[in-house]
Structure 1
Amino acid sequence: MADSQNSTFKRVLLKISGEALMGDQGYGLHPPTVARIAQEVKSVHDLGVEICMVIGGGNIFRGLAGSAQGMERTTADYMGMLATVMNALAMQSALEELNVFTRVISAIRMDEVAEPYIRRRAVRHLEKKRVCIFAAGTGNPYFTTDTAATLRANEMNCEAIFKGTKVDGVYDKDPKKFADARRYETVSYDECLQKHLGVMDASAIALARDNNLPIIVFSLDEPGGFRGILAGEGTYTRVHG
């Protein structure tokens, strides 16, 4: 196994959307896609990097969408949190198939399927080179999994958040719709907020800015992209102060 000197980071948080797990399906989990992402995580884990993960729940249920259809917002958000637990368990299963020890840590207690969130215990898991998947958001309604990812990254003393998306960085407009879309090499937190660049929601960006936590936006669809960036290569956008 390579040691972490081959990586520019020693501890990171990977944030991916629930939609990333559904492949070409319109809904739910696509096991081959989950397995492919698990392989990407393993390749970085093999560098000796300590990895946290936060996975959204939009492939199963999105609280905001439920609320928009007339469901009471708090109930809808809790349903969305439960969806993230399902995704976390699927990713845990895929990682452990690859012999990567993994812990699902839930902000909502459900002791039969996940550990409760206890910061010191989670840090110890990371020190023992276990992947920690933080599920159920912050445990509170009205907060997105972007905000949960930024919160956990700060609590775990991560050096960066890696936001895996469908495109290889942050663009001034949608590159799938506009051929002249320009990708930023770097962009400031304030510029993301002022221009509504859609990196993360405003609460997450502000929390990252206040704690000087860089956000690396890259394509999760690019094979080897996650490992490449940690080795100092590849195409991405860095959001920082």
Structure 2
Amino acid sequence: MELFAVPDLPEIREGDDLAAMIADRVDLREDDVVCVASTVVSKAEGRTADLDDFPPGPRATEIARNLEEISGDEKDPRFAQAVLENCTDVVMAEPFILTEAPFGHVSVNAGIDRSNVPDHDLLLLPERPSESAGHVHESLPESPPVLVTDTAGRSFRHGQRALTIGWAGMPASRDWRGETDRDGHELQVTVQSVVDELAGAANLVSGEGDGGDPVVIVRDWEFGDHDGSDNLFREMRGDFVRQALRVWEFDQ
């Protein structure tokens, strides 16, 4: 397959038509996959905020104070309040804030970004990223699949990688269960998260920092003759790591 960045995209502002901006710069095909960074989706949707928009309550003040004691760095309780107001569950509050977004994604600090926000303090994740992906998908010529991507850390490993938080026009995973390996053994548990793998590949092209390109096209990739699944985010009853974190206590 081939991956390439959409060239010459300007700074995205609230109200910008991402689909039109992409279509003006690339001749799209029906079987392309369009990977769009959540940052530009959030900017187009006006998901910016200032710290003063979040006067801290008692819980945010306590969380900020505890994190300050742990790290030795000053922590703004307004930021903690912003995190609390943009999540549905606090998985853990120390030594960092790990949260669940309303759409199911688990990330640090509710995925709130404090960089690349020219006119505000904070950039929030899209409220409903799969709906955002669907809007771009339906508005693009040829209606190729669209992924809304973000970067996050990983348990048990250093470094960040890209993953998908919203998608439209294709399943999130391809299901290999019931198929066989090279020795004829039936696969029992293999469900491949192709949207995350495509996001990771796209991130190698898009890059990071001030030289990054926020939209990448994946071309000549095929889903194949597999069943699909949109079951990407684990539910609590089957997420044993989250269950363990609920009873774990941080020991400094």
Structure that is richer in helix per residue: 1
TM-score normalised by length of structure 2: 0.25
Structure that is richer in strand per residue: 2
State which structure, 1 or 2, has the greater radius of gyration over its C-alpha atoms.
Answer: 2
TM-score normalised by length of structure 1: 0.26
